Structure 1
Amino acid sequence: MTGDYQELVDEISALLGAPATLENRDFGLVAFGAHDSDDDTAMDPVRTRSILTRRSTPAVRAWFEGFGITRATGPVRIPAAPEAGVFRDRVCLPVRHRGVVLGYVWLLDTDPGPTDEQLTAAMEVAARIGALLADEARAGADLSREFGAVLAAGPGRQHDTAVAALREALGQDAEGLHAVVCVTPWGADDTPSVRGVASAAALATVSAPGAAGPVSLAALIRLRSADRLDPATSAADRLRTSAGPGATGGIAAPRRGLDALPVSWREAVASARAARAETRLGPVARWSAIGPYRLLTALPGTGSDPADPAVASLLTPLHKELAHTAEVFLDCAGQASRTAGELGIHRQTLYYRLSRIEQITGLDLGDGEDRLLLHMALKGARL
């Protein structure tokens, strides 16, 4: 699996002189060619939705399938239907491998449209796409077990054995650039197919240590550049819709190869936890953006053990407003004017609350170590 769908779609676009879009057989967007921004008709509502949400609606899918594209072995011309949001005629190139349809290449038809010779050449490229999709499907059927084994393995020989098995299954993709994604809690009944998640090399469900921990979904996402995490973000957003309400996503730092997958998984889990704790980070957070939570999530027992005795009373429902005041004060680096502005209160009210916080906790908010303890306890409580 080389993951060069974009290059093949661009090749078809160049052959036919029109922007092409590749979707898998579930109508999930895989890749699309650039279009002329001056041509307003090139982006009808169906095409726009497909690109922006990376998926077509069930109604659109049923409408297109009504033209026999699931059975077709050659190009299918589909007329415009403004009432369905389809304002332009289309050409569909079925992507097949060994007789099985695996996806579709879509083009907006023109007048005059592509010649038979051009369409024949484009179908040859579509066949190459089909071979790639078939390879990906075969690998994905096995990689859930192999990928999950790497994430669950202990250090040493167990880890090395699991990584070797995953490396063999991935082939040349194994040494490529990846980002690990965590979606938690995973409320779906099973692991989705990699075919439904663009750029996914492997997916696996992972149980947290301890019977009470939530089940999470892990995804290994191919990247073209360490500076472009868009494929990982799109995958996390796509998977969250299947996970159920309240699910958050986390994205680890990008890395090459597989040896550091356990580290990447810890980063992805930490980022998802941070997204859940801080709404400003979520619903999908990147490891590079979670700040102090990179340290807090690594502390043993964070979020499960009782709070530090000095802070425990402040964290009760009775003192919820004071706890919020303390957190905002510390987030504002102890600057009273900024804190009062953030809270929308008078500075004298702030000073009164701060004195109450000191009385309840026994901490001195003018002392750096006491501030650090209080700030860590408040952030840790969010986890």
Structure 2
Amino acid sequence: MYVDAIVQELFTRLRAPLIVLDADMELVAHSIHQDVEHDAAQVAMIVSRRGTTGAIESLERYRVKYSTEPVRIPGKDGGPGHVVVTLRSSGTVTGYLSFPDRFGTVIPPETLRAITAAAARLGEGLWEKSLDRRRGREHVRQLIEGVLGRDQHLRDYAVREIAGGHLLLPAQQYSTLVLGVRPGRSGSGSSPHMTLQQALNRIAPAGSTRSLGVVLGEEAVVIIPRAIDSADLAALLAETGAETVIAAAGGPVGSLEEVRRSHRQARIALNGVLRDPANYGDCASWQDLGDDRLLLQLPFEEMGPEDLPDALRRLLATRNAPMLIEALQAYLATGGNAVEASRRLHLHRSTLYYRLERVATCTGLDLADGSVRQELHLALRVATLMGVGKQAQGTAGSAGTAGTAAGEDFTLSAIRA
């Protein structure tokens, strides 16, 4: 109520609709009135309860948080601009005050003094609000760290606190969701921590007993009192509204004491999303990993191309490797069924046979041997997860579906047999 009262007092002075966001770009307050309308940008923030992508980008572009004076941000395409004031408490940024710019060339001195005074009070008010919220968030963080930690005594205490404090609904199954930010993907300029916190606020809002979440380092962890299937996971990821966020779910466990295992599984699945986005997209579930459950636990950071079988290394280094690898992968994925592999690749069978013959010649392996196919399939999967030959495999689609190349009309009788 303290912040709301300041906003209404300032509105009475400015007669301009006001918006107040906290440092995490969540809506804290807005002016209430009947005779003055909020503009479209303000309405979007009021409806979504958070700063829009455009607002976040403008704060970054005009370096608003570094200014001690009101910053005038011009509107887009000739539209109305806004004045944004950074709110602080003892030098710490606590939020932002925004309102339409209707002052012409210069903000009148008396108006500027009123804005500055209100901003100082709002900065302190937001600090008090954030302190209360951080106390609650810090408590949740400690409990989740306790549940996920190795110390049995801390884990028992955290479980009692979560159950006794009714922080989560009692359930027969619990699952862990892990959120991360895709490295290298362009975003709105927000820090990874802020991006994760905003995503968390949408799928695990404070005070909800349907989930319990917190940002821990470079990931956000959410404990949910139910099993999560692939459809649930995709829906939860979409709910975050952030294109840079990726997600993974661990398998369901029977009690809060076992959530640590679900968290470990979710982190392994997230590793799959990071290492093989072509296969997993932006989310993966432990229950759908298959053999990758084991492979994704390999110490890839300590491995290099020299750890791959010599035959595969020769194949990766050969001319037209993308075309050959695509043919081999399709052949192996269909269990050595050349007819089905050629159908999937939209290739004539003679073209596929020729490319497989090239593979056999390059590697020195007999592809008609089931154990050889199994070893190659495993080695190719490991190479993909290692990132070895990524460029070759990434361009295979365009090369592999081009049809029959010149001279590719041979057959491979050994494979046909």
Q: TM-score, normalised by structure 1?
A: 0.53
* 8 Å Cα contact 2:177-2:263 kept in structure 1: yes
Query: 2:339 maps to which residue?
Result: 337
Q: 1:221 to 1:137 in 2, by over 3 A?
A: farther
Q: 1:353 to 1:159 in 2, by over 3 A?
A: farther
Q: 1:328 to 1:337 in 2, by over 3 A?
A: same
Say if 2:318 is the partner of 1:320: no
Following the alignment from structure 2 to structure 1, what is the Cα–Cα distance between the partners of residues 332 and 49? 41
Three-state SS of the structure 2 residue aligned to 1:380 is: helix
Q: 1:340 to 1:275 in 2, by over 3 A?
A: same
User: Which of 353, 368, 376 is 2:355 aligned to?
Assistant: 353
Deviation at 1:364, TM superposition (A): 2.0
Q: TM-score, normalised by structure 2?
A: 0.49
* 8 Å Cα contact 1:303-1:381 kept in structure 2: no
Query: 1:254 maps to which residue?
Result: 252
Query: 2:383 maps to which residue?
Result: 381
Q: 1:219 to 1:329 in 2, by over 3 A?
A: same
* 8 Å Cα contact 1:146-1:166 kept in structure 2: yes
Three-state SS of the structure 1 residue aligned to 2:215 is: strand
Query: 1:296 maps to which residue?
Result: 295
Q: 1:54 to 1:251 in 2, by over 3 A?
A: farther
Following the alignment from structure 1 to structure 2, what is the Cα–Cα distance between the partners of residues 166 and 310? 52
Three-state SS of the structure 1 residue aligned to 2:242 is: helix
* 8 Å Cα contact 1:26-1:196 kept in structure 2: no
Query: 2:371 maps to which residue?
Result: 369
Counterparts of 1:59-74 in structure 2 under 5 Å? none
Q: Encode CA deviations 1:57-102: one digit per residue, 9 max, x unaligned.
A: 5799xxxxxxxxxxxxxxxxxxxxxxxxxxxxxxxxxxxxxxxxxx
Q: % of aligned pairs identical?
A: 23
Q: 1:257 to 1:344 in 2, by over 3 A?
A: same
Counterparts of 1:190-269 in structure 2 under 5 Å? 190=193, 192-193=196-197, 196-199=201-204, 200-206=211-217, 216-223=218-225, 225-226=226-227, 232-237=233-238, 241=242, 244=244, 248-269=246-267
What is the RMSD of the two structures over their aligned residues, measured on CA atoms?
4.4
1:203 partner letter = V
Q: 1:358 to 1:228 in 2, by over 3 A?
A: closer
Q: Encode CA deviations 1:32-59: one digit per residue, 9 max, x unaligned.
A: xxxxxxxxxxxxxxx9xx99x9989579
* 8 Å Cα contact 2:147-2:257 kept in structure 1: no
Query: 1:272 maps to which residue?
Result: 270
Q: 1:58 to 1:351 in 2, by over 3 A?
A: closer
Three-state SS of the structure 1 residue aligned to 2:222 is: strand
Following the alignment from structure 1 to structure 2, what is the Cα–Cα distance between the partners of residues 335 and 149? 51
Following the alignment from structure 2 to structure 1, what is the Cα–Cα distance between the partners of residues 300 and 26? 42
Q: 1:369 to 1:173 in 2, by over 3 A?
A: farther
Deviation at 1:193, TM superposition (A): 4.2
Following the alignment from structure 1 to structure 2, what is the Cα–Cα distance between the partners of residues 370 and 304? 22
Query: 2:67 maps to which residue?
Result: none
**Any stretches of 5+ residues in structure 1 without a counterpart?**
1-24, 29-46, 61-133, 207-215
Q: 1:222 to 1:364 in 2, by over 3 A?
A: same
Three-state SS of the structure 1 residue aligned to 2:219 is: strand
* 8 Å Cα contact 1:203-1:220 kept in structure 2: yes
Following the alignment from structure 1 to structure 2, what is the Cα–Cα distance between the partners of residues 54 and 311? 53
* 8 Å Cα contact 1:268-1:287 kept in structure 2: yes
Q: 1:240 to 1:286 in 2, by over 3 A?
A: farther
Following the alignment from structure 1 to structure 2, what is the Cα–Cα distance between the partners of residues 184 and 317? 35
Three-state SS of the structure 1 residue aligned to 2:347 is: coil
Following the alignment from structure 1 to structure 2, what is the Cα–Cα distance between the partners of residues 365 and 329? 10
